[in-house]
A = this chain, B = another copy of it.
Amino acid sequence: MAIAGLLDRNQRTAPASSARADIVPLPHRTCSVRRFERGEPLCSVGEPFRTLFVVRSGSLKSYVVSRNGLVQVTGFQVAGDVVGLDGIDRSAYQSDVVALADSAVFVLPFIQCEQWSRDSAYGQNLLMRTLARETYRSHQHMLALGTMRAEQRMAIFLLDLSQRYERLGLSRSEFVLGMLRQDIGSYLGLTLETVSRLLSRMQRDGFLQVQGKSISLLDFPALWRLAGTTPEYDRHLPLDPIVDREGNLAAAH
């Protein structure tokens, strides 16, 4: 279709628009699914905020850019994670988000979230908890950026990924890094060279094995020791997802 084609060429600036071929409305559902291919932006700073995104499959990275071009990756998202929340305050997205791999994403009109929040105490609670958790995550990451050494940050990063994959029912020890070394570096406040060296060193020390983007964690106790904490301490309560696997706004159970 002509419109979609046109829009596609425009994606850089205007990724979110109506009437796209890849927007699949779910019957009787509160939100639609949209597919993004690797590298495609979901939203970018300043764009009018109208929807939240919930990852169904694939992965994303979010980042902010300073006026003079400094980039800080603020997080990586996988299935179940929500992005777009920071757009609420000013009705404009405050982060850039792009797909790291081909991904399917629930597109949640924020108006419906607000309505849901008004109708259901559970929805209200879930939405606010999701927002609050973002803050918590950010504070924990500030702790890493502000006080920890490169090796410790890296260990925490890897173990965090591992835990998240495990919670999704995937292997906690073997997975693929969807992002570039540079992305990891930006997230951890390091250069890509330092990231590379750290991975090499950890491999030399037998803590893990790395081959390009494929990682397998070999020595969890050692990694936790590097991270300076233990699994129990960081184990989060599972947060009920905003939408279920079919795209329904969650209901109280």
Contacts and interface: CB of A to CB of B under 8 A. Distances in A.
Nearest to A188: B146
A173 B6 CA distance: 47
A170 interface: no
A129 B89 contact: yes
Contact of A89 (B90, B132, B141, B233): B132
Interface string A107-124: 000000010011001001
Stoichiometry, as copies per complex, reads 2
Most chain-B CB neighbours within 10 Å: which of A71, A88, A229?
A88
A151 interface: no
A74 B139 contact: yes
Given A67-B233, A94-B136, A146 B72 contact: yes
A171 interface: no
A86 interface: yes
Nearest to A236: B90
11 contacts: A72-B139, A72-B146, A74-B142, A88-B129, A89-B129, A89-B136, A94-B136, A117-B117, A131-B131, A141-B142, A146-B187
A122 to B, nearest CB: 12
A186 interface: yes
A132 B71 contact: no
Interface residues of A, number: 52
Contact of A90 (B68, B228, B237): B237
Closest 8 CB pairs of A and B: A138-B138, A146-B189, A88-B132, A72-B143, A145-B145, A131-B131, A89-B132, A70-B147
Contacts of A74: 139, 142
Nearest to A228: B68
B139 A88 contact: no
